[in-house]
Amino acid sequence: MSDVYRTIEAVWKIESTRLIAAIARVTPDIGIAEELEQDALVAALERWPEEGIPENPAPWLMTAAKRRAIDSHRRLSVLMDCFLNAYQQTCNSATSCTIKGGQVPSGHLNRSGLSRMNVVRRFLAISLLVVAAVSGSVSIGLFVLSPAGSLVLFQPQWPVAAVLCWDAFLSFLFFLQHSGMVRRSFRARLKQFIPPWSYSAAYTIASSIVLAAVVVLWQPTGRHLVVLEGLPLRIVQAVSVVAVAFFFWGAIALKGFDPFGLTPIRTHLRGWEEPRPAFVANGPYRWVRHPLYFSILLLLWFSPGLTLDRLLFNILWTAWIWIATRWEERDLESDFGDAYRQYQKRVPMLIPWRAAS
């Protein structure tokens, strides 16, 4: 580590709390103050290695944070003045819709303006929360109540091979989006453009759109390979009920199950820090490391009927679940270290083939 980065680290440890406290005197939102503090750190990391360490590092950081507060306020406040009438104000000489020369109009940065900025931020956060919850619920409802191939909005006269290729394309499109966006490298790049607390909800919305497309655009082949009746049908239905119950048991055992990524938004709106998850294996997690995925596999294969396109669906999605679970395991090892590695030795990954220890 170079001397510059050591200096930045040392100054940051001393001044970070003072920076937040000073910025909080300007903006009443502690979340915004923390974001501006991080922006100042990024500016130091970018400029000090090239320009050299300033004579007074602490005031430099404070100035950088205040400039970013002005820039952030300017963008949001001008949009507020131009497009919203929440405060029954219009663009005038003091708050012009056009900012010339990068200068902030006189009196622009005040508590009233910052209050409007906070209102806009909260409105956007709440809107994102609602959209994520609704889109996630609708897409999962479509997927559960209208399995792939049962909701046909259009049916082109394609040969069976073309139908299967199309269905495989839809599946791989979902796999790419769902597993690609959850990768930490992708998240790190995307968080350069959106607030960190909004990522999980944005991921939910994107996944919901692609999953709904899979359900709506899936093409059935119409060829039944297996149709169960009588006792076999009853057995399959019973296993499906058990799988659903096992899924909900696994979700409850998590004690913080958040399928739509709403928790980061809630903590942001309340001004809390998102808690670091602790590793605990309760309930079905004592028998299998991923009980939710195990339940989905049961529901995939224990179906009263099996068509050619459904067989393709089952094979592709089973393979994807296994591969995606292996990737997720790497992240869990990185998060929880030796505790999770010991857990891996005791408990199977996807199939509970041995008793809990």
Give residue-wise pLDDT tens across range 42-57. Answer: 777 777 777 888 877 7
Average pLDDT score over the chain: 81
The two tokens of residue 270 are: 């309340």
pLDDT in tens, 185-223: 888 888 788 888 899 999 999 999 999 999 999 999 877
pLDDT at residue 111 greater than cutoff 60: no
pLDDT band at 25 (very low <50, low <70, confident <90, very high): low
- Only one residue has tokens 């979700």, namely 251
Decide: helix, strand or coil at residue 147.
Answer: coil
Helical (H) or strand (E) element with 307:
strand 305-307
Total-model pTM = 0.66
Query: Measuring CA to CA, how many Å separate 312 from each of 9, 159, 172, 173, 322?
Result: 54, 15, 12, 15, 16
- Output the pLDDT for position 245: 95
Nearest CA to 26 out of 110, 118, 105 is that of 110
The two tokens of residue 123 are: 């409105």
Long-range contacts of 263-267 (CB under 8 A, 24+ apart): 263/200, 264/196, 264/197, 264/198, 264/199, 264/200, 264/201, 265/125, 265/126, 265/128, 265/129, 265/132, 265/197, 265/198, 265/200, 265/201, 266/129, 267/197
- Only one residue has tokens 């091979």, namely 161
